[in-house]
Structure 1
Amino acid sequence: MTRTVGSAADRAHDLTGHHYRCAKPFTVDRTRIREYARAVRAYHPVHWPESAAAVFGFDAVVAPPTFASLIWQQARRELLRNLVTGYRPERILHIDQVLEIGRPLLAGDVLTCDIFFESFRSYRTYDVLTVTGLLVDQAGLPVQSGSSALLVRTDEPQGDVSRVRAPRRGCLLATDDGVAPVPHLRLTPPAFDFERLTTGTQLPTATTRLAPRDLGIYARVMGDTDPIGPDTGPSAPGTPAVVAPSTLILALAAGYASSCAADPTALTTFRAEFANHIHYLPVPPDHTAEIEFSGRVVAIDGRRRTATVAIDAYSQGRKLFGYATADLRFPRANLG
């Protein structure tokens, strides 16, 4: 594809191999945690009153595992405003996501956000940017990283752009010498005994329903001015294209994995790639969209006491993920 001089594609291409530090640190406060927890259906007590968090061994309210997406959404707006001008936010779709959690985020954390531009490819009707965000706490320790492949529609799609696959990225947390430690916690017992866990173990299914009102709540929490969602093309006359964004679907899937472990801090790694043509979920204006989650254990590490779970999600007769896996940590029962 031939790029015009000074285009958004030129600016994105020139940033490859560089990184950007967001202008201001992000302070995690308990109100934002509670708002986000409500929006993504995270109802474990540690996300709500301090007294409940204290019972589970935390000094402050604990953020849900995908809370960092709120920070990266804010960072993305800053990038589009200051560096990669020309892209329309409503035409940006997530292809895949990798989240690495060194420790859970807590109310009172002050986080610096660095964005690394890993790769850029430009096609006739869309561009693909691969970026990694790294969150560093007030002690200077990296706490979480998230890598995303973003597909930006630059014209009306011609052909199957959903088959784009992003290059696999390494995790920034895995290459750093210092990672903020997970504190000594008193945790709820898991839904199953780790010592008896075997490859192939099926996890219980769970169903969630999303209504247009839920999407409005999520949009407001994420700071989106338009809760309708991405530009999905023409819809039926008089019917707005109300959609559940990919970040909400990812948050619900990560929450499902954590709930199976009965521990909101069990998730250490979450990887997901959306199925072809699935980057958002249409929600009928006067009804709800139902998502059914299920999972099975595909790997166990007895030394690290972790299990890898493959997650399936179905809605409206469609499979939402090409693949999705979650690594869950199971502390020994005598912690406390």
Structure 2
Amino acid sequence: MAINRDFLGRVYESPQPYEVTRGKIREFADAISDPNPVYRDRASAEAAGHADVIAPPTFPIIMGMEGAGQAIVDPDLRLDYSMMVHGEQRFSYSRPMRAGDVVNCVTTITEIKSLGRNELITLKSELSTVEGEHIVTTRNLLVVRDGAEPAEQK
């Protein structure tokens, strides 16, 4: 069954702000095996010109997945999670995310299309501080394999 095109433009907001802490940054850096000291040591981060430790560039996926997760589990979207694979992830930064940031995330379904027998859904997440300062925009492409209906494959 095809993804519900009525969901194009639908917005999902994080239910509460996410507090970026040194501990969460360190845990994420450990999980991706990145030893960069600017992710762990404030003095190293300051020597590199940052006010505090900064997060690895892919760290915002934690917040973006919350909005994507809200969409994915909505039965009216008709997305077959068992056939879904991650197609692409992009990040466009205004500045690095750093310890002490308190961040809101707004995720929007920006594109739904068929490509061959697959369906593609693109989600854009805007992450900003609670004060309104933009930090990063992420784009997440999900591919639902064999999800297009025959009439849509023309």
Q: Where on the TM-score scale, by shorter chain, does this alignment land: which range? A: 0.7 to 0.9
Match of 1:14 among 6, 21, 33: 6
Alignment RMSD, CA only? 2.4
Alpha-carbon contact 2:38-2:54 (below 8 Å) kept:
yes
Find the residue that maps to 1:98 and give its secondary structure: strand
Structure 1 window deviating more from structure 2 (116-125 vs 104-113): it is: 116-125
Q: Aligned partners of 1:83 and 1:20: how far apart in 2?
A: 15
Larger Rg: 1
Structure 1 window deviating more from structure 2 (124-133 vs 44-53): it is: 124-133
Give 1:151 shift: 0.6
* CA offsets 1:170-229 (integer angstroms, 9 cap, x no match): xxxxxxxxxxxxxxxxxxxxxxxxxxxxxxxxxxxxxxxxxxxxxxxxxxxxxxxxxxxx
Q: Aligned partners of 2:29 and 2:82: how far apart in 1?
A: 24
Structure 1 window deviating more from structure 2 (16-25 vs 99-108): it is: 16-25
Per the alignment, residue 50 of structure 1 pairs with 42
Per the alignment, residue 117 of structure 1 pairs with 109
Alpha-carbon contact 1:22-1:78 (below 8 Å) kept:
no
Per the alignment, residue 97 of structure 2 pairs with 105
Q: Aligned partners of 1:35 and 1:105: how far apart in 2?
A: 15
Correspondence 1:115-194 to 2 at 5 A: 115-122=107-114, 125-153=117-145
Give 1:21 shift: 1.6
Letter in 2 for 1:26: Y
Determine if the alignment matches structure 1 residue 95 to structure 2 residue 87: yes
Structure 2 unaligned runs (5+)? 148-154
Per the alignment, residue 38 of structure 1 pairs with 30
Q: Aligned partners of 2:75 and 2:108: how far apart in 1?
A: 13
Q: Aligned partners of 2:38 and 2:58: how far apart in 1?
A: 15
Structure 1 unaligned runs (5+)? 4-8, 156-336
Alpha-carbon contact 1:127-1:154 (below 8 Å) kept:
yes
Find the residue that maps to 1:32 and give its secondary structure: helix
In structure 2, do the counterparts of structure 1 residues 83 and 61 end up closer, same or farther at CA, with 3 Å as the change threshold? farther
* CA offsets 1:111-156 (integer angstroms, 9 cap, x no match): 111112212124685321122111111220211001122111356x
Q: Aligned partners of 2:74 and 2:110: how far apart in 1?
A: 18
Give 1:31 shift: 1.6
Letter in 2 for 1:56: A
Give 1:82 shift: 4.3
In structure 2, do the counterparts of structure 1 residues 123 and 56 end up closer, same or farther at CA, with 3 Å as the change threshold? closer
If asked which structure has higher relative contact order (CA below 8 Å, sep 6+), I would say 2
Alpha-carbon contact 2:17-2:130 (below 8 Å) kept:
no
Give 1:48 shift: 0.5
Match of 2:53 among 30, 51, 61: 61
Find the residue that maps to 1:104 and give its secondary structure: coil
Letter in 1 for 2:95: R
> For this pair of structures, how many residues does the alignment match?
147
Judging by fraction of residues, say which structure has more helix. 2
Q: Aligned partners of 2:9 and 2:77: how far apart in 1?
A: 18
Find the residue that maps to 2:73 and give its secondary structure: helix
Letter in 1 for 2:110: E
TM-score (norm 2): 0.80
Alpha-carbon contact 2:93-2:137 (below 8 Å) kept:
yes
Q: Aligned partners of 1:87 and 1:119: how far apart in 2?
A: 14
